[in-house]
Amino acid sequence: FKPFTFISTHDEKHYFTLKNNGHTIIGTINNEYKQSPIQLTGGGLNGTFEFVNFHLHWGENYKSGSEHQVNGVKYAGEIHFVYQNPVTSQMAVLGMFMQSYLHKKRFVFDKNDLTRDEWHRYFDTAKTLTSENDSILFDSNVTLLMGENLQDFWRYEGSLTTPPCTEGIIWTVFKRPIIFMEEEFKHLRDNVYFEDYRGPQPLFNRTVYRNFYSEKLSSIPDYNRCLLDFQYEKAMNIISLFGVINCTARSFFFFLLVIYFILLFILFVVFRKMRYSVERKKNE
């Protein structure tokens, strides 16, 4: 597939209405302001598509909440940006995985990560929408919310995951997740909904395409993984030097501990042999 092309208005600040619709928090263009449509082309889509809404799905913990899974791997949530071709009425959804980390895991974020800052503002705003039909104004930039990792993705034709579950939707699911802190999910679970996702459904006879070379899923970092994928680290820039040292130090300490017990065992065996030899000479 050719890369997505985001028309200039995609980079502009827009005013959205965030609303608790009884199922999730949905963000739509606020019509009280005179605003240009948010449009995109490319990515294998026919024609120009205009932004309709964006919303999140999340689960009860860091490994449930995404509505797609890759080789059995699930994420804490999933972001959906819904678009529609105004000429053909064809709908397309751009999905991003939401990966969750804890502070105690010593993962830190790049201070210059504007996407992180934008989502942090979103969570602070969305957590106040505690009742159905609650709404609030939220200004943001869709390009910032999507982030920069829009090159590698899967593509298939499926249905919406919320009622009325309309078929014939062009799905684009990006491979690289956006990283969030677990406490941000906790704000939504405690104040809005504990969970708001539909589990992955069978593919049946659908064909899933990809626009990147095949690779083993193990190259995508796992939640509790100590080994580092340096290519991913460079792309996301989220792992601190202290975290790397801490991970390496624990491995080195374990190695020294093993050596210590091996030497201790050898000394014990040698001591036993020497003692046995001395006692044998005395008996002779």
Could you report the per-residue pLDDT of 116-127, keeping only the tens digit for each? 889 999 999 999
Q: For the purposes of burial, counting CB atoms within 10 Å of the CB of 39, is it exposed (0-12), middle (13-18) or buried (19 or more)?
A: middle
pLDDT confidence bin for 108, thresholds 50/70/90: low
CB 44 within 8 A of CB 155: yes
pTM exceeding 0.85: no
CA distance 113 to 110: 5
- Token digits for 240? 């601190």
Listed in sequence order, the DSSP H helices in 129-240 are 142-146, 182-191, 230-236
Q: List pLDDT tens digits, range 14-57.
A: 999 999 999 899 999 999 999 999 999 999 999 999 999 999 99
